[in-house]
Structure 1
Amino acid sequence: MTDTTDDLSTPLGQNPAPRRRLRLPFSLPQATGLLLGSILVVFLGFVFFNHDPLGGEPKARVAIRQAPVSDDKPTAIRPPPQQPDSAAVTAPSANGQKTITIIDGSSGSRQDVVVSGPGPDAADAGSAKAVVGVDQRLLEKSRHGMIPVAAADGLKPFKAYAAGTEADRAKAAKMPVVAIVVGGLGVGATKTTDAIMKLPPAVTLAFTPYGSDPGRLVAQARAQRHEVLLQVPMEPYDYPDNDPGPQTLLTTLGAEQNIDRLHWQLSRFQGYVGLTNFMGARFVAAAAVMQPFMHEAARRGLGYLDDGAAPLSVAGRLAEGQAMPFARADLIVDAVPTSVEIDKALARLEDLAMKRGVAIGMTSALPVSVDRIGVWIKSLESRGVMLVPLTTAMLKSKST
């Protein structure tokens, strides 16, 4: 018979010995939190104390050994074992253009592409030496750079940089003339180059002081015998909602501040005959700010073209007081930029020239404008009207 022990056989006042269990110094949730905290500390330490900005990026180390160059033996250059799919070889030319030869590596076919590029003096494009035909006597140093000035012997930029010949001016004195001024150039290189190359030299080109390299484009225009104007950004009525750009002349600034801004604009490129307003309906109507501006332009031997967009402009009256060359545009050729409306505007401009002897039109360099003006000019002289640079139209307008 087997003895069994139960609660009845256990002596009173005595409890069975409890079973011993392994006790940890922390609970399971505490252990989980400690583990996650450790991982976070390690990660933050890696972020803050690792100074490799390219950490995690694949790396490769390549040892480049420079072969010694002997004075008496040429160094042989081994071609790569495989040819690329295509290659380009650039050959600069004397006129600043580059011919790029594109070679197809698979077929061996070659294609030459000519692109415009800076000439050998591109590093000095902002200096007078980089601009062909700029007279050193007509330059003065300012805090912004070189700006135009009348020479001590009386020579002025208006006369020195005028396009056309004496024979052309003598011919223009005997027949009706039209001047076309294309504005807004210098910012878009493609449209500027199209205007320079597609329009005849007698068309005058007006450049804003903006753009990455306006000096090079102006030099290109003058090399094609175009007459050049500088468009001066001026305050419109809805300024600053409509902002012409940095260094805009403002009616709220004093004369000294506006002249300093004008000097910045004058320094952007060289070789121009005069100035014209870029926007500026409010500014050109305020005699208090226009008078110092016109005085400074006249003192530097420059002419002034009013674009005709502001009926209240005082530029004409002030120019007469300064005895400086002046003209006012008769109409905007591409106010409605369609082929039909541009053709109508050109016809009106031609009629004005026939009636008054002189007419001046302003236009932008929109492709449709350049194309329609080019077509119109081809047959203009056969109808008894001569296309002339702006300076010729200014002088004829003054004489009549």
Structure 2
Amino acid sequence: MNAFKNRTSVVVVAAVVLVGAVAMGYYWGEHAAPLQMAGPSKVDKIPAPPSAWFTKNAVPPKMVVRPDTPIFPDEAGPTGARGSSRPYEEPLPQETYMPSHDIPAIPTPGIANAPPTGSPLGAPGGAMPPAAPVKAPWRRYAMARGAPSGRPLVAIVIDDMGVDHKRSLKMVAMPAPLTLSYLTYAPNIKKQTAAARAAGHELMLHVSMEPGSHAVDPGPNVLLTGESDTEIRSRLDWGLNRFSTYIGINNHMGSKFTADATGMRVVMEELKKRGLIFLDSRTTNKTVGAQIAHELGVTVVERNIFLDNVNAKDAILKQLAALVRVARHKGAAIAIGHPRDGTIAALKAWLPTAVDLGVDVVPLSAVIEKMYALKPLPDVARVSRR
């Protein structure tokens, strides 16, 4: 009898629990909106990727990375030094650029044109670019190179200097003269460039310009095609005032900006005011840099070859051999490299052999002087190395 009562009690309790559960389910079904009616939950939502900072009209960060942090994709790893998937450098052209100089030579007002002879990079028939002013301010900061030997000239420009401090110092320790181009946002830039100049290297300013893809990070105060002329001048002016002992600028990235005639005209107007040169890194074959420079009478040269698209010593040595061939053919050639381990190793091995290969490694200014048929300045007309 007691067992029957106990079983009956269990059944009654179970029935009460079941009825209660059904009642609560009905209540919530009537009073709470189903999950699918309310849209996806927070867990299901996929946040939109944030826009790159340089696409917004906001003040950019003062520094991108710490001074001693490697920032190049091949050394920083797949996510980059800043924990971002955006690489630091846009893909660079692998071709050897042989200038045709189809751009007509436009005389610079008030300056006599140089004779159409002796140009290593001139067009067939002796066409020359506008003559560079003999007393242009950039020439005061050009490094002396000694008496010309008659051998073809090779200028090696090292971009992206000053942020990867460890590798930048290794480039400064290379046999001079290299031409070292310092990023505008490099820390302690005056101290770094003074040491490089004291070591006998020529200096340039590496100015960030808008890349073709917003997947890469061009750094603070980049020049953007969508900005006003006033904003472009302001950002450029900030960079140009970071230090003073450089001969001119070249573009960091810039495959989009250097193809924009409006933006490049603003840049060239500022360079003309200051008497500076422009080295077109030619990150795109659509660049209008040389064309606008010629129109405004700005001294301009163009990169022939990138050394280190592949950061490996043997690959870079092959590029240096190609550079020598261009120099022998044209009389002078310009290469651009970066402070990377492969480049450092290759240059350390190659530089002592350059004379035996029949070329002189010279500052970029020496190539410009030859291209524009300028007589080298006497050393007393140049600013001291220190």
TM-score (norm: length of structure 1): 0.58
Contact 2:137–2:275, Cα closer than 8 Å, also in 1: yes
Letter in 2 for 1:179: A
3-state DSSP of counterpart to 2:251: strand
Q: 2:192 is matched with which residue? A: 217
Q: Match for residue 329 of structure 2?
A: 355
Matches within 5 A, 1:255-266: 255-266=229-240
The answer on 1:289 being equivalent to 2:263 is: yes
Q: Counterparts of 1:1-400 in structure 2 under 5 Å? A: 155-165=135-145, 167-168=146-147, 170-171=148-149, 174-197=150-173, 199-239=174-214, 241-399=215-373
* Contact kept? 1:273, 1:303, Cα under 8 Å: yes
Q: Which amino acid aligns with 1:204?
A: T
- SS for the counterpart of 1:305 is strand
Structure 1 contact 187–214 (Cα < 8 Å) conserved: no
CA distance in 1, matches of 2:217, 2:295: 30
Deviations, residues 115-147 of structure 1 (Å, cap 9, x unaligned): xxxxxxxxxxxxxxxxxxxxxxxxxxxxxxxxx
Give the Cα–Cα distance (whole angstroms) in 1 for the partners of residues 196 and 276 of structure 2.
19
Cα separation, 1, equivalents of 2:319 and 2:283: 15
Matched letter for residue 332 of structure 1: F
- Per the TM alignment, residue 211 of structure 1 is displaced from its structure 2 partner at its CA by 2.8
Q: In structure 1, what is the Cα distance between the partners aligned to 2:321 and 2:144?
A: 24
Distance in 2 separating the partners of 1:309 and 1:237 = 10
Equivalent residue of 1:304, what SS?
strand
Summarize the Cα distance change of 1:368–1:255 in structure 2 as closer, same or farther, 3 Å threshold.
same
State the 1:156 CA deviation: 3.5
Identity of aligned residues (%): 31
What is the alpha-carbon distance in structure 1 between the residues aligned to residue 154 and residue 135 of structure 2?
A: 26
Q: Which amino acid aligns with 1:164?
A: A
| Structure 2 counterpart SS, 1:382 | coil
Unaligned runs of 5+ in 1: 1-152
Instruction: Determine the structure 1 residue equivalent to 2:85.
Output: none
Give, in whole Å, the separation in 2 of the partners of 1:393 and 1:292: 26
Matched letter for residue 289 of structure 1: G
The alpha-carbon deviation at position 188 of structure 1 amounts to: 1.8
- Secondary structure of 1:312's counterpart equals coil
Count residues with an aligned counterpart.
Answer: 242
Give distance in 2, aligned partners of 1:378 and 1:154. Answer: 32
Contact 1:308 1:331 survives alignment (8 Å) = no
> Could you say what the CA RMSD is over the residues aligned between the two structures, in angstroms?
1.7
CA distance in structure 2 between the aligned counterparts of 1:340 and 1:382, rounded to whole angstroms: 19
* Paired position in structure 1 for 2:75: none
Give 1:182's aligned amino acid: I
- The 3-state SS of whatever aligns with 2:370 is helix
Is this contact kept in 2: 1:325–1:395, CA < 8 A? no
**Per-residue displacement from partner, 1:334-371 (whole Å, max 9, x unpaired)?**
11111221111000000111111111100011122112
Q: Distance in 2 between matches of 1:249 and 1:325?
A: 21
What is the rounded CA distance, in whole Å, between the counterparts of 2:280 and 2:301 in structure 1? 6
Q: In 2, are the aligned partners of 1:333 and 1:362 still within 8 Å (CA)? A: yes
Report what 1:66 is aligned to.
Answer: none
SS in 2 for 1:179: strand
RCO (CA 8 Å, sep 6+): is it higher in 1 or 2? 2
1:243 shift after superposition: 2.5
Shift of 1:214: 1.3
Residues 147-196 of structure 1, C-alpha deviations (whole Å, 9 max, x = no match): xxxxxx9953310100124x43x33xx22111100111111221111110
Kindly indicate whether the alpha-carbon contact (under 8 Å) linking 2:210 and 2:222 is maintained by their aligned counterparts in 1.
yes
Give the partner amino acid of 2:141.
Y
Relative to its length, the structure with more strand (as a share) is: 1
Structure 2: which amino acid aligns with 1:290? M
Residues 314 and 346 in structure 2, CA contact (< 8 A), matched pair in contact too = no
SS, match of residue 339 in structure 2: coil
Cα distance 1:287–1:196, how it changes in 2: closer, same or farther (>3 A)? same
So what's the TM-score if we normalise by structure 2?
Answer: 0.60
